[in-house]
Amino acid sequence: MRIIRGDNDVETNGKLALHNRLLCNANRNHRGLTNNPICNECDNVEETILHILRDCKVAQQWLIRNLEANGVAYPEMKSTYFGIT
């Protein structure tokens, strides 16, 4: 998955995610573009859009670093974004 750089990319990728059109491994597998729907980082979980946006530990670490770099307090986001109490 590529790094999002601008507002247009965020909007475009958000719309693609909303309509299940991002090419995660599960979607690539469904379209016959790969044989493996598993997350390359987690090694045991199907890489769906929900997994990338919420469940993947690597994605969580990336999000935390970016939130903190932009002055957003992670503890306030944790329960809302990841469903953690």
pLDDT in tens, 31-73: 999 999 999 888 889 999 888 877 888 888 887 787 778 776 6
Does residue 65 lie in a domain region?
yes
At residue 50, the pLDDT reads: 86
Q: CA–CA separation, 47 vs 3, rounded Å?
A: 17
Does residue 1 lie in a domain region?
no
Does residue 2 lie in a domain region?
no
Task: Give the range of the structural domain holding residue 74, as residue numbers without chain letter.
Answer: 7-82
Q: CA–CA separation, 47 vs 69, rounded Å?
A: 26
Q: Each residue of 4-39: pLDDT tens digit?
A: 455 556 667 667 777 777 788 999 999 999 999 999
Does residue 38 lie in a domain region?
yes
Q: What is the pTM of this model?
A: 0.61
What's the number of domains the chain is made of?
1
